[in-house]
């Protein structure tokens, strides 16, 4: 009962903070502290959000964003896990390639957006490429660290038992790498969604980002719509993060990190 009460208290605190933020937004706009030429009232925005939720246009934009994000995450993530695992298991390859990976990891994906637009145009393929590029490098690093994180005792035991090939990978390497991969995928999912919206907002690909830009260019009368689209984008990000966090906890319930997190939450 104590644990249940604590969870309800944390939930109530979050709801209260959210309510205070909405109230402050409404107060600042209605009193003129924030100009309504740039900031619509909270009531107008929520009203517009309700109208948009009933329109096919919003859900089409959400679907386009999630489609580009999902494909980019799948392609970039799959390549990163395969590449990082192979490099992590081969010391010579790791030492040869890691300087290049560390350098490319520092290149912001937004920096290659103009090149992607020139090559692909304002298309869904451009968005997928930007997301895949952005998630590939950090997730590759995580996969490398995961593959190299095998406990020496476990590794020696596997060698003594003559575990090789796929069996060694499934029973030794993968369990050691799983926490690194799960964390990397969760972070990559959030970063990938941001990149997808940026590719739409700046690159012109269809989705929530383009809807935000279109509403902004339509003039002050469409400001509530612009903020409504921004809210939907934020809510989508929260849902994606919560979903991947829940999946991580579910799949890694056996790992020490998740047991410690559950203990602290309790």
Q: What is the pLDDT of residues 77-98, one digit of tens each?
A: 999 998 998 888 888 888 888 8
Distance CA 235, CA 215 (A): 18
Q: What is the distance, to the nearest Å, from the Cα of residue 6 to the centroid of all Cα atoms in its chain?
A: 28
Q: For the segment 122-177, what is each residue's pLDDT rounded down to a tens digit? A: 899 999 999 999 999 989 998 888 888 777 766 767 777 766 666 777 777 777 78
My answer on whether 103 and 189 are in the same domain is yes
- Using DSSP, state whether 150 is helix, strand or coil: coil
My answer on whether 9 and 104 are in the same domain is no
My answer on whether 184 and 241 are in the same domain is yes
Q: What is the distance, to the nearest Å, from the Cα of residue 223 to the centroid of all Cα atoms in its chain?
A: 27
Q: For the segment 167-222, what is each residue's pLDDT rounded down to a tens digit? A: 777 777 777 788 888 888 999 999 999 999 999 999 889 999 999 999 989 888 88
My answer on whether 106 and 11 are in the same domain is no
Distance CA 97, CA 201 (A): 34
- Give CA torsion, residues 140, 186, 121, 61, to 10 deg: 170
Nearest to 65 by CA among 213, 181, 186, 216: 213
User: What CATH number is attached to the domain comprising 161?
Assistant: 1.10.3720.10
Neighbours of 264 (CB within 10 A): 7
My answer on whether 28 and 148 are in the same domain is no
My answer on whether 19 and 75 are in the same domain is no
State percent of the chain over pLDDT 70: 87
In the chain, the N- to C-terminal Cα span, in Å, equals 11
My answer on whether 158 and 244 are in the same domain is yes
The pLDDT value recorded for residue 1 is 46
Which range has the top average pLDDT, 80-89, 230-239, 253-262?
Answer: 230-239
Whether 197 maps to a domain, the answer reads yes
Cβ atoms of 128 and 199 within 8 Å: the answer is no
Token pair, residue 67, equals 């489609």
My answer on whether 170 and 53 are in the same domain is yes
Count of structural domains, the chain: 2
254 pLDDT band, cuts 50/70/90, is: low
Whether 266 maps to a domain, the answer reads no
My answer on whether 52 and 131 are in the same domain is yes
My answer on whether 86 and 216 are in the same domain is yes
The overall longest dimension of the chain from CA atoms, in Å, is 75
User: Which sign, positive or negative, has the C-alpha torsion 122, 128, 129, 133?
Assistant: positive
Give mean pLDDT, residues 47-62: 92
Which residue matches tokens 């979050």? 14
Domain span holding position 196: 40-261
My answer on whether 159 and 257 are in the same domain is yes
Whether 146 maps to a domain, the answer reads yes
């Amino acid at each position: 009962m104590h644990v249940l009460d604590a969870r309800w208290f944390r939930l109530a605190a979050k709801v209260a903070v959210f309510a205070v933020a909405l109230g402050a937004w409404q107060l600042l706009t209605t009193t003129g502290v924030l100009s309504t030429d740039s900031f619509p009232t909270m009531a107008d925005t929520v009203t517009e959000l309700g109208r948009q939720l009933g329109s096919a246009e919003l859900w089409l934009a959400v679907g386009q964003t999630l489609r580009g994000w999902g494909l980019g995450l799948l392609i970039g993530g799959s390549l990163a896990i395969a590449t990082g695992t192979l490099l992590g298991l081969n010391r010579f390859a790791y030492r040869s390639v890691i300087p290049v990976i560390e350098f490319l990891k520092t290149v912001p994906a937004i920096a290659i957006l103009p090149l992607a637009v020139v090559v692909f145009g304002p298309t869904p393929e451009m968005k997928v490429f930007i997301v895949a590029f952005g998630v590939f490098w950090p997730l590759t690093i995580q996969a490398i660290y995961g593959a190299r994180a095998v406990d020496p005792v476990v590794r020696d035991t596997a060698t003594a038992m003559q575990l090789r090939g796929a069996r060694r990978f499934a029973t030794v390497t993968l369990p050691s790498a799983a926490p690194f991969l799960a964390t990397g995928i969760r972070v990559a999912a959030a970063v990938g969604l941001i990149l997808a919206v940026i590719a739409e907002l700046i690159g012109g690909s269809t989705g929530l980002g383009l809807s935000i830009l279109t509403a902004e260019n339509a003039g002050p009368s469409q400001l509530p719509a612009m903020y409504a689209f921004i809210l939907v984008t934020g809510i989508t990000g929260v849902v994606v993060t919560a979903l991947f966090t829940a999946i991580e906890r579910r799949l890694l319930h056996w790992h020490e990190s998740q047991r410690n997190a559950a203990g602290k939450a309790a």
